[in-house]
Amino acid sequence: MTHKKYVKLIQEYIDGEISRANKRELEEHLKTCTECRKKLEDIKSTVEILRSSRQEVKTPESLDNEILNKTIYRKVKPVFNWKLAAAGIAALLILGILIFTYVKILSPPTSMKKAPQDIEKIILTHKDSTEKKTEKDKPVEIQRKDKIEKDIIDQKFEETRLVFPEEGSVVGDSFDVVVILRKDEKEIELNIDGEVKKYRAPDSKILFIESRNLPFLDRGMHYISLGKGRSNLMFYKEG
């Protein structure tokens, strides 16, 4: 084996990357070759000097949080897609024309038309506002603000669920987060953009949390979920 080959092996030897057979061969060679022994010591000391200059630098505190706020929790303006909007308008126009054609040509004469039936409406209305305290470190206590349709209240909910905002909802300055609580649940944890806060509804199965009781939300995209591990929904706040 040439000295050139041994130089290659010396590098691998120092870096702990040498094969067992080559290691044995090199060690045998080093016993008799002064030049290679010198070479080995030379590289070894250079590596030691290099390593000794290594300094541990302290990562700035909360840098990871800053990064998370700019990535997975970032607030972005929704992009208005002109192509999609144009396609939507075109589709609506075509649909309109088709319906118009159908009504004109195929619908029975007016005298034969049935009287329109009432459309069933389920509207959750607020009558009064009875929010309680908002003390720091304590769950915010929120009572039911209104009378909800009895049949909705009497339903047995297997699981506490977030009714509003839904995925992709657009909300204004003032809105309510609506949560239907499981029968035995009185308290929930709401996670908005990673900030978790507790809310309590002592006498209610439906919890309304007014936006003023939420962490401040500026204009843009936000994420909301119930406690840890529950599905995270995105909503957008207009300002």
Binding residues vs other proteins (CB under 8 A): 7-8, 11-12, 15, 17, 42-43, 46-60, 63-64, 66-68, 70-72, 225, 231-232, 234
CB of 60 to other proteins, least distance (A): 6
Please answer whether residues 192 and 223 qualify as being in contact, where contact means their C-beta atoms are separated by less than 8 angstroms: yes
CB of 102 to other proteins, least distance (A): 41
CB of 168 to other proteins, least distance (A): 12
Length of the chain (residues): 239
Say how many C-beta atoms besides its own lie within 10 A of residue 81's C-beta: 10
Pick 54 or 136: Cβ nearer other proteins: 54
Residue 234 has which token pair? 């995105």
CB of 236 to other proteins, least distance (A): 13
Pick 143 or 232: Cβ nearer other proteins: 232
Pick 28 or 64: Cβ nearer other proteins: 64
In terms of Cβ atoms closer than 10 Å to its own Cβ (0-12, 13-18, 19+), residue 194 is middle
Pick 46 or 155: Cβ nearer other proteins: 46
Q: Inter-axis angle of helices 20-32 and 34-52, to 10 degrees?
A: 120
Pick 45 or 101: Cβ nearer other proteins: 45
CB of 42 to other proteins, least distance (A): 7
Query: HSE (CB half, 13 Å, CA atoms) of 112?
Result: 4
| CA 180 – CA 215 distance, rounded (Å) | 20
